[in-house]
Homo-oligomer: A and B are copies of this chain.
Amino acid sequence: MSYVPSQLIQKKKRGLALTTDEIRWLVNAYTAGVVPDYQMSAWAMAVWFKGMNDDEIAVFTDAMLKSGSRFDFSKLGGPRIDKHSTGGIGDKTSIIVGPILAAAKVYAPMIAGRGLGHTGGTLDKLEAIPGFRVALARAEFEKHVAENYFSIMSQTEDICPADKKLYALRDVTSTVDSLPLICGSIMSKKLAEDLTGLVLDVKFGSGALMKSVNDAMKLAQLLKTTGEKNGLRVIALITNMNEPLGRFSGNAVEVHECYEIMQGKTLLENGHDFYASTRELSLELAACGLLLAGRADDIAGARAHAHELFNSGAALREFEKLLAYQGPSDISKLPHAKFSRVLKAARSGTVQPMDSEVIGMSCVELGVGRKVVGDKIDPAAGIEMFVRIGDNVKAGQPLCRYFSSVESKLDSTEKMLAAAIAVGDGAPERLPLVAKVLS
Protein backbone atom coordinates (compact mmCIF):
# COMPACT_ATOMS: atom_id res chain seq x y z
CA MET A 1 0.00 0.00 0.00
CA SER A 2 1.31 3.42 -0.92
CA TYR A 3 -0.03 6.85 0.00
CA VAL A 4 0.16 10.39 -1.38
CA PRO A 5 2.24 12.30 1.22
CA SER A 6 0.44 15.61 0.67
CA GLN A 7 -2.86 13.90 1.48
CA LEU A 8 -1.46 12.58 4.76
CA ILE A 9 -0.21 16.09 5.57
CA GLN A 10 -3.63 17.49 4.73
CA LYS A 11 -5.37 14.97 6.95
CA LYS A 12 -3.19 15.92 9.91
CA LYS A 13 -3.54 19.63 9.11
CA ARG A 14 -7.32 19.23 9.34
CA GLY A 15 -6.90 17.60 12.76
CA LEU A 16 -7.77 14.06 11.68
CA ALA A 17 -5.98 10.97 12.96
CA LEU A 18 -3.83 8.99 10.53
CA THR A 19 -4.42 5.25 10.37
CA THR A 20 -1.87 2.69 11.52
CA ASP A 21 -0.98 1.89 7.91
CA GLU A 22 -0.60 5.56 7.01
CA ILE A 23 1.74 6.26 9.93
CA ARG A 24 3.88 3.20 9.30
CA TRP A 25 4.08 4.02 5.60
CA LEU A 26 5.03 7.64 6.30
CA VAL A 27 7.82 6.77 8.75
CA ASN A 28 9.20 4.04 6.52
CA ALA A 29 8.96 6.08 3.33
CA TYR A 30 10.68 9.00 5.07
CA THR A 31 13.48 6.79 6.37
CA ALA A 32 13.92 5.30 2.89
CA GLY A 33 14.05 8.77 1.32
CA VAL A 34 10.81 8.23 -0.64
CA VAL A 35 9.10 11.01 1.31
CA PRO A 36 11.43 14.03 1.17
CA ASP A 37 12.37 16.29 4.07
CA TYR A 38 10.12 19.09 2.81
CA GLN A 39 7.00 16.96 3.16
CA MET A 40 8.05 15.51 6.51
CA SER A 41 8.70 18.98 7.97
CA ALA A 42 5.26 20.18 6.83
CA TRP A 43 3.73 17.10 8.46
CA ALA A 44 5.73 17.71 11.66
CA MET A 45 4.47 21.29 11.78
CA ALA A 46 0.89 20.08 11.29
CA VAL A 47 1.50 17.68 14.20
CA TRP A 48 2.86 20.59 16.25
CA PHE A 49 -0.49 22.33 15.79
CA LYS A 50 -2.92 19.40 15.80
CA GLY A 51 -1.18 16.71 17.87
CA MET A 52 -1.66 12.97 17.61
CA ASN A 53 -3.92 10.75 19.66
CA ASP A 54 -2.51 8.02 21.92
CA ASP A 55 -2.93 5.31 19.30
CA GLU A 56 -1.20 7.38 16.64
CA ILE A 57 1.70 8.10 19.00
CA ALA A 58 2.05 4.44 19.91
CA VAL A 59 2.15 3.39 16.25
CA PHE A 60 4.47 6.27 15.33
CA THR A 61 6.84 5.20 18.14
CA ASP A 62 6.75 1.58 17.09
CA ALA A 63 7.38 2.52 13.45
CA MET A 64 10.45 4.53 14.48
CA LEU A 65 11.64 1.62 16.64
CA LYS A 66 11.22 -0.78 13.72
CA SER A 67 13.09 1.51 11.33
CA GLY A 68 16.21 0.06 12.98
CA SER A 69 17.30 -2.88 15.03
CA ARG A 70 16.35 -3.61 18.61
CA PHE A 71 18.48 -5.26 21.26
CA ASP A 72 17.41 -8.70 22.39
CA PHE A 73 18.16 -9.23 26.06
CA SER A 74 15.45 -11.85 26.58
CA LYS A 75 18.07 -14.59 26.88
CA LEU A 76 19.38 -12.92 30.05
CA GLY A 77 16.30 -14.16 31.83
CA GLY A 78 15.96 -11.19 34.19
CA PRO A 79 14.35 -7.79 34.32
CA ARG A 80 15.96 -4.94 32.32
CA ILE A 81 15.41 -1.44 33.65
CA ASP A 82 16.49 1.98 32.38
CA LYS A 83 15.91 5.45 33.67
CA HIS A 84 15.33 8.42 31.36
CA SER A 85 15.21 12.10 32.16
CA THR A 86 13.61 14.77 29.98
CA GLY A 87 16.64 16.95 30.71
CA GLY A 88 17.78 19.35 33.37
CA ILE A 89 20.69 21.28 34.84
CA GLY A 90 23.06 19.32 37.09
CA ASP A 91 20.93 16.29 36.25
CA LYS A 92 23.38 13.49 36.96
CA THR A 93 21.29 10.74 38.55
CA SER A 94 21.93 8.03 35.90
CA ILE A 95 25.50 7.80 37.22
CA ILE A 96 24.12 6.69 40.61
CA VAL A 97 20.93 4.88 39.53
CA GLY A 98 22.76 2.48 37.17
CA PRO A 99 25.15 1.20 39.87
CA ILE A 100 22.31 0.71 42.40
CA LEU A 101 20.35 -1.37 39.85
CA ALA A 102 23.48 -3.37 39.04
CA ALA A 103 24.11 -3.95 42.74
CA ALA A 104 20.59 -5.48 42.90
CA LYS A 105 21.51 -7.68 39.90
CA VAL A 106 18.95 -5.86 37.76
CA TYR A 107 20.11 -5.41 34.16
CA ALA A 108 20.48 -1.72 33.25
CA PRO A 109 21.30 -1.37 29.55
CA MET A 110 21.50 2.41 29.11
CA ILE A 111 21.77 4.07 25.71
CA ALA A 112 22.42 7.68 26.64
CA GLY A 113 22.52 11.01 24.85
CA ARG A 114 24.80 14.00 24.60
CA GLY A 115 24.01 17.49 25.76
CA LEU A 116 22.38 19.83 23.25
CA GLY A 117 20.79 23.10 24.14
CA HIS A 118 20.72 24.11 27.78
CA THR A 119 20.58 20.60 29.27
CA GLY A 120 23.51 18.24 29.74
CA GLY A 121 24.08 14.70 28.55
CA THR A 122 25.26 11.73 30.58
CA LEU A 123 27.76 10.69 27.91
CA ASP A 124 29.55 14.04 28.05
CA LYS A 125 29.76 13.74 31.83
CA LEU A 126 31.25 10.26 31.84
CA GLU A 127 33.66 11.13 29.03
CA ALA A 128 35.15 13.77 31.34
CA ILE A 129 36.78 10.83 33.15
CA PRO A 130 40.12 10.30 31.36
CA GLY A 131 39.92 7.01 29.48
CA PHE A 132 36.17 6.42 29.76
CA ARG A 133 34.71 4.96 26.54
CA VAL A 134 31.05 5.31 25.53
CA ALA A 135 31.34 4.40 21.85
CA LEU A 136 30.94 0.71 22.52
CA ALA A 137 30.26 -1.87 19.84
CA ARG A 138 26.91 -3.64 20.23
CA ALA A 139 28.61 -6.89 21.19
CA GLU A 140 30.74 -5.23 23.84
CA PHE A 141 27.69 -3.50 25.32
CA GLU A 142 25.72 -6.75 25.33
CA LYS A 143 28.60 -8.60 26.97
CA HIS A 144 28.98 -5.99 29.67
CA VAL A 145 25.26 -5.94 30.42
CA ALA A 146 25.25 -9.73 30.65
CA GLU A 147 28.32 -9.88 32.91
CA ASN A 148 28.09 -6.71 35.00
CA TYR A 149 24.41 -5.71 34.67
CA PHE A 150 25.06 -2.01 34.00
CA SER A 151 26.58 -0.54 30.86
CA ILE A 152 26.13 2.77 29.11
CA MET A 153 26.74 3.52 25.45
CA SER A 154 26.05 6.14 22.80
CA GLN A 155 23.34 5.67 20.21
CA THR A 156 24.49 3.73 17.15
CA GLU A 157 23.49 4.25 13.54
CA ASP A 158 21.23 1.21 13.52
CA ILE A 159 19.06 2.25 16.48
CA CYS A 160 15.95 4.17 15.36
CA PRO A 161 17.38 5.69 12.17
CA ALA A 162 13.97 7.25 11.49
CA ASP A 163 14.23 9.18 14.74
CA LYS A 164 17.80 10.24 13.98
CA LYS A 165 16.73 11.66 10.63
CA LEU A 166 13.51 13.21 11.90
CA TYR A 167 15.16 14.72 14.97
CA ALA A 168 17.75 16.50 12.82
CA LEU A 169 14.93 17.84 10.65
CA ARG A 170 12.82 18.97 13.63
CA ASP A 171 15.83 20.75 15.06
CA VAL A 172 16.02 23.12 12.06
CA THR A 173 12.28 23.50 11.43
CA SER A 174 11.11 24.56 14.90
CA THR A 175 9.20 21.36 15.50
CA VAL A 176 11.20 20.00 18.46
CA ASP A 177 8.69 21.15 21.08
CA SER A 178 5.79 18.92 20.06
CA LEU A 179 4.64 16.46 22.74
CA PRO A 180 3.77 13.60 20.36
CA LEU A 181 7.05 13.97 18.49
CA ILE A 182 9.04 14.21 21.75
CA CYS A 183 7.24 11.16 22.99
CA GLY A 184 7.96 9.13 19.86
CA SER A 185 11.60 10.14 19.88
CA ILE A 186 12.19 9.24 23.53
CA MET A 187 10.17 6.05 23.66
CA SER A 188 11.35 4.52 20.36
CA LYS A 189 14.93 4.64 21.65
CA LYS A 190 13.98 3.25 25.05
CA LEU A 191 11.98 0.45 23.42
CA ALA A 192 15.08 -0.41 21.37
CA GLU A 193 16.82 -1.32 24.65
CA ASP A 194 14.41 -4.26 25.08
CA LEU A 195 13.53 -3.22 28.62
CA THR A 196 11.00 -4.76 30.98
CA GLY A 197 10.52 -1.47 32.83
CA LEU A 198 11.37 2.20 32.49
CA VAL A 199 11.63 4.91 35.14
CA LEU A 200 10.98 8.36 33.75
CA ASP A 201 12.19 11.54 35.38
CA VAL A 202 9.99 14.22 33.83
CA LYS A 203 11.24 17.62 34.90
CA PHE A 204 9.14 20.69 35.52
CA GLY A 205 10.23 24.25 36.25
CA SER A 206 12.32 27.06 34.85
CA GLY A 207 15.11 24.77 33.65
CA ALA A 208 12.82 22.15 32.12
CA LEU A 209 11.08 21.77 28.77
CA MET A 210 7.81 21.78 30.71
CA LYS A 211 7.52 24.84 32.92
CA SER A 212 4.55 23.72 35.03
CA VAL A 213 3.78 20.54 36.96
CA ASN A 214 0.62 20.16 34.88
CA ASP A 215 2.44 20.28 31.56
CA ALA A 216 5.06 17.86 32.87
CA MET A 217 2.23 15.55 33.96
CA LYS A 218 0.79 15.65 30.44
CA LEU A 219 4.12 14.67 28.92
CA ALA A 220 4.64 11.99 31.57
CA GLN A 221 1.20 10.52 30.94
CA LEU A 222 1.82 10.49 27.20
CA LEU A 223 5.20 8.78 27.61
CA LYS A 224 3.75 6.24 30.02
CA THR A 225 0.77 5.45 27.78
CA THR A 226 3.04 5.10 24.75
CA GLY A 227 5.34 2.72 26.63
CA GLU A 228 2.45 0.66 27.90
CA LYS A 229 0.75 0.45 24.50
CA ASN A 230 4.05 -1.01 23.30
CA GLY A 231 4.29 -3.49 26.18
CA LEU A 232 6.67 -1.59 28.47
CA ARG A 233 5.90 -0.90 32.13
CA VAL A 234 6.61 2.70 33.14
CA ILE A 235 6.78 4.68 36.38
CA ALA A 236 7.14 8.42 35.95
CA LEU A 237 8.29 10.93 38.56
CA ILE A 238 7.52 14.62 38.06
CA THR A 239 10.54 16.39 39.55
CA ASN A 240 11.62 19.91 40.30
CA MET A 241 13.98 21.72 37.92
CA ASN A 242 13.48 25.23 39.27
CA GLU A 243 17.11 25.21 40.42
CA PRO A 244 20.07 23.05 39.40
CA LEU A 245 20.12 19.58 40.94
CA GLY A 246 22.78 19.19 43.65
CA ARG A 247 25.96 21.19 44.02
CA PHE A 248 27.57 21.08 40.61
CA SER A 249 26.53 21.53 36.98
CA GLY A 250 29.07 20.58 34.34
CA ASN A 251 30.79 17.43 33.21
CA ALA A 252 33.79 16.44 35.38
CA VAL A 253 32.26 18.18 38.40
CA GLU A 254 29.04 16.21 38.16
CA VAL A 255 30.95 12.92 38.04
CA HIS A 256 32.92 14.13 41.06
CA GLU A 257 29.67 14.89 42.91
CA CYS A 258 28.20 11.46 42.14
CA TYR A 259 31.41 9.72 43.16
CA GLU A 260 31.49 11.61 46.46
CA ILE A 261 27.83 10.81 47.10
CA MET A 262 28.38 7.12 46.39
CA GLN A 263 31.31 7.23 48.83
CA GLY A 264 28.83 8.40 51.46
CA LYS A 265 29.99 12.00 51.61
CA THR A 266 27.88 15.06 52.27
CA LEU A 267 28.51 18.73 51.52
CA LEU A 268 27.22 20.65 54.49
CA GLU A 269 27.20 24.42 54.16
CA ASN A 270 24.87 27.19 55.40
CA GLY A 271 22.72 24.59 57.09
CA HIS A 272 22.07 22.38 54.03
CA ASP A 273 23.69 19.34 52.49
CA PHE A 274 24.25 20.51 48.91
CA TYR A 275 24.43 16.90 47.79
CA ALA A 276 21.01 16.07 49.26
CA SER A 277 18.83 16.62 46.17
CA THR A 278 21.08 14.54 43.91
CA ARG A 279 21.23 11.72 46.47
CA GLU A 280 17.52 11.80 47.24
CA LEU A 281 16.37 11.82 43.63
CA SER A 282 18.84 9.12 42.58
CA LEU A 283 17.66 6.84 45.37
CA GLU A 284 14.00 7.46 44.55
CA LEU A 285 14.53 6.73 40.83
CA ALA A 286 16.51 3.61 41.71
CA ALA A 287 13.76 2.48 44.09
CA CYS A 288 11.19 2.83 41.28
CA GLY A 289 13.48 0.75 39.08
CA LEU A 290 13.78 -1.96 41.75
CA LEU A 291 10.00 -1.98 42.14
CA LEU A 292 9.52 -2.40 38.36
CA ALA A 293 12.11 -5.19 38.46
CA GLY A 294 10.11 -7.02 41.10
CA ARG A 295 12.84 -6.66 43.72
CA ALA A 296 10.31 -5.38 46.28
CA ASP A 297 6.56 -5.66 46.83
CA ASP A 298 5.94 -1.98 47.29
CA ILE A 299 7.72 1.36 47.01
CA ALA A 300 8.60 1.37 50.73
CA GLY A 301 10.36 -1.96 50.36
CA ALA A 302 12.06 -0.78 47.17
CA ARG A 303 13.30 2.36 48.89
CA ALA A 304 14.70 0.34 51.77
CA HIS A 305 16.46 -1.96 49.30
CA ALA A 306 17.95 0.95 47.33
CA HIS A 307 19.19 2.65 50.49
CA GLU A 308 20.79 -0.57 51.68
CA LEU A 309 22.64 -1.11 48.39
CA PHE A 310 23.74 2.50 48.47
CA ASN A 311 24.79 2.64 52.13
CA SER A 312 26.63 -0.69 52.02
CA GLY A 313 28.94 0.57 49.28
CA ALA A 314 27.63 -2.06 46.82
CA ALA A 315 26.59 0.65 44.36
CA LEU A 316 30.02 2.30 44.62
CA ARG A 317 31.68 -1.02 43.78
CA GLU A 318 29.44 -1.37 40.71
CA PHE A 319 30.41 2.12 39.60
CA GLU A 320 34.10 1.23 39.99
CA LYS A 321 33.52 -1.90 37.88
CA LEU A 322 32.00 0.36 35.20
CA LEU A 323 35.03 2.65 35.33
CA ALA A 324 37.30 -0.32 34.81
CA TYR A 325 35.26 -1.99 32.11
CA GLN A 326 34.49 1.08 30.00
CA GLY A 327 38.07 2.29 30.39
CA PRO A 328 40.52 1.76 31.71
CA SER A 329 39.57 5.16 33.11
CA ASP A 330 40.98 7.11 36.01
CA ILE A 331 38.51 9.07 38.09
CA SER A 332 41.32 10.55 40.19
CA LYS A 333 42.35 12.49 37.11
CA LEU A 334 39.14 14.44 36.45
CA PRO A 335 40.14 17.74 34.82
CA HIS A 336 39.97 21.01 36.75
CA ALA A 337 39.12 24.30 35.12
CA LYS A 338 41.98 26.78 34.94
CA PHE A 339 39.86 29.89 35.40
CA SER A 340 37.10 30.57 37.85
CA ARG A 341 35.17 33.44 39.33
CA VAL A 342 32.62 33.88 42.10
CA LEU A 343 29.26 35.60 41.68
CA LYS A 344 28.38 37.57 44.76
CA ALA A 345 25.03 38.87 45.98
CA ALA A 346 24.58 42.51 44.99
CA ARG A 347 22.30 43.09 47.97
CA SER A 348 21.06 41.38 51.11
CA GLY A 349 17.79 39.46 50.88
CA THR A 350 16.33 36.14 49.87
CA VAL A 351 17.32 34.02 46.87
CA GLN A 352 14.40 34.21 44.45
CA PRO A 353 13.15 31.48 42.05
CA MET A 354 16.01 30.98 39.62
CA ASP A 355 15.92 31.07 35.85
CA SER A 356 17.47 27.65 35.51
CA GLU A 357 17.24 27.70 31.74
CA VAL A 358 19.56 30.71 31.77
CA ILE A 359 21.84 28.89 34.23
CA GLY A 360 21.87 26.02 31.71
CA MET A 361 22.71 28.44 28.91
CA SER A 362 25.47 29.87 31.09
CA CYS A 363 26.88 26.37 31.35
CA VAL A 364 26.79 26.05 27.56
CA GLU A 365 28.51 29.43 27.31
CA LEU A 366 31.24 28.21 29.71
CA GLY A 367 31.81 25.16 27.49
CA VAL A 368 29.76 22.47 29.28
CA GLY A 369 27.47 21.86 26.33
CA ARG A 370 26.96 22.51 22.65
CA LYS A 371 25.25 25.32 20.83
CA VAL A 372 25.14 23.23 17.65
CA VAL A 373 25.84 19.55 16.99
CA GLY A 374 29.58 19.05 16.61
CA ASP A 375 30.69 21.83 18.97
CA LYS A 376 33.66 20.76 21.12
CA ILE A 377 32.90 20.75 24.83
CA ASP A 378 35.03 21.67 27.83
CA PRO A 379 34.94 18.76 30.30
CA ALA A 380 36.27 20.94 33.12
CA ALA A 381 33.81 23.81 32.83
CA GLY A 382 30.81 24.28 35.08
CA ILE A 383 29.05 25.98 37.94
CA GLU A 384 29.06 25.32 41.69
CA MET A 385 26.00 26.54 43.58
CA PHE A 386 26.43 28.07 47.04
CA VAL A 387 22.76 28.89 47.61
CA ARG A 388 19.30 27.43 47.07
CA ILE A 389 15.97 29.17 46.43
CA GLY A 390 14.73 30.77 49.65
CA ASP A 391 18.14 31.10 51.31
CA ASN A 392 18.77 34.36 53.13
CA VAL A 393 22.01 35.99 51.99
CA LYS A 394 24.00 39.11 52.86
CA ALA A 395 25.30 41.57 50.27
CA GLY A 396 28.63 40.27 48.97
CA GLN A 397 27.94 36.67 49.95
CA PRO A 398 28.95 34.17 47.22
CA LEU A 399 25.98 32.82 45.21
CA CYS A 400 27.94 30.51 42.95
CA ARG A 401 31.33 29.85 41.42
CA TYR A 402 31.69 29.43 37.66
CA PHE A 403 34.70 28.07 35.86
CA SER A 404 36.02 27.32 32.41
CA SER A 405 39.23 26.42 30.59
CA VAL A 406 38.86 29.64 28.57
CA GLU A 407 39.09 32.81 30.65
CA SER A 408 37.13 35.04 28.27
CA LYS A 409 34.09 32.81 28.69
CA LEU A 410 33.79 33.93 32.30
CA ASP A 411 33.11 37.47 31.10
CA SER A 412 30.31 36.49 28.75
CA THR A 413 28.73 34.32 31.44
CA GLU A 414 28.77 36.75 34.34
CA LYS A 415 25.74 38.83 33.39
CA MET A 416 23.67 35.79 32.51
CA LEU A 417 24.23 34.24 35.91
CA ALA A 418 23.62 37.50 37.76
CA ALA A 419 20.24 37.76 36.00
CA ALA A 420 19.37 34.11 36.62
CA ILE A 421 20.11 34.07 40.36
CA ALA A 422 18.34 37.08 41.80
CA VAL A 423 18.26 38.22 45.43
CA GLY A 424 15.10 40.04 46.51
CA ASP A 425 12.61 40.60 49.27
CA GLY A 426 9.99 37.94 48.66
CA ALA A 427 9.91 34.63 50.49
CA PRO A 428 9.48 32.21 47.60
CA GLU A 429 7.74 28.91 48.07
CA ARG A 430 10.04 25.88 47.90
CA LEU A 431 8.37 23.24 45.72
CA PRO A 432 9.06 19.59 46.55
CA LEU A 433 11.81 17.69 44.71
CA VAL A 434 9.34 15.01 43.61
CA ALA A 435 6.01 16.70 42.93
CA LYS A 436 4.01 13.76 41.58
CA VAL A 437 4.35 10.08 40.79
CA LEU A 438 2.58 8.25 37.95
CA SER A 439 2.80 4.55 38.60
Contacts and interface: CB of A to CB of B under 8 A. Distances in A.
Contact of A42 (B6, B10, B13, B41): B41
A110 interface: no
Nearest to A39: B173
B46 A13 contact: no
A172 B39 contact: yes
A6 B173 CA distance: 5
B45 A6 contact: no
Contacts of A74: none
Contacts of A38: 36-38, 40-41, 169, 172-173
Contacts of A123: none
Contacts of A172: 5-6, 38-39
A174 B9 contact: yes
Contacts of A45: 9, 13, 41-42, 45-46, 49
Contacts of A36: 37-38
Contacts of A107: none
B41 A39 contact: yes
Interface string A23-42: 00000000000001111111
A171 interface: yes
A44 interface: yes
A36 B38 CA distance: 8
Nearest to A14: B174
A175 interface: yes
Nearest to A38: B37
Interface string A10-27: 100100000000000000
A6 B38 CA distance: 14
A74 to B, nearest CB: 39
Contacts of A13: 45, 48, 174
**Copies of this chain, how many?**
2
Nearest to A4: B172
A175 B45 CA distance: 11
Interface residues of A, number: 24
Interface in A212-262: none
Contacts of A39: 41, 172-173
Contacts of A40: 38
A331 to B, nearest CB: 39
A168 to B, nearest CB: 10
A37 B39 CA distance: 9
A169 B42 CA distance: 10
A171 B42 contact: no
Nearest to A175: B42
Nearest to A12: B174
Interface in A157-188: 169, 171-175
Given A38-B38, A41-B39, A9 B49 contact: no
Contact of A41 (B10, B41, B48): B41
A186 to B, nearest CB: 21
**Centre residue among A10, A45, A46, A175 by max chain B CB count within 10 A:** A45
A6 B49 contact: no
Interface in A362-380: none
Contact of A44 (B5, B42, B49, B171): B42
A174 B49 CA distance: 14
A7 B172 CA distance: 9
A42 B173 contact: yes
Contacts of A9: 45, 173-174
Contacts of A175: 42
14 contacts: A6-B171, A9-B174, A13-B45, A13-B48, A36-B38, A37-B38, A38-B173, A39-B41, A39-B173, A41-B41, A41-B42, A42-B42, A42-B44, A45-B46
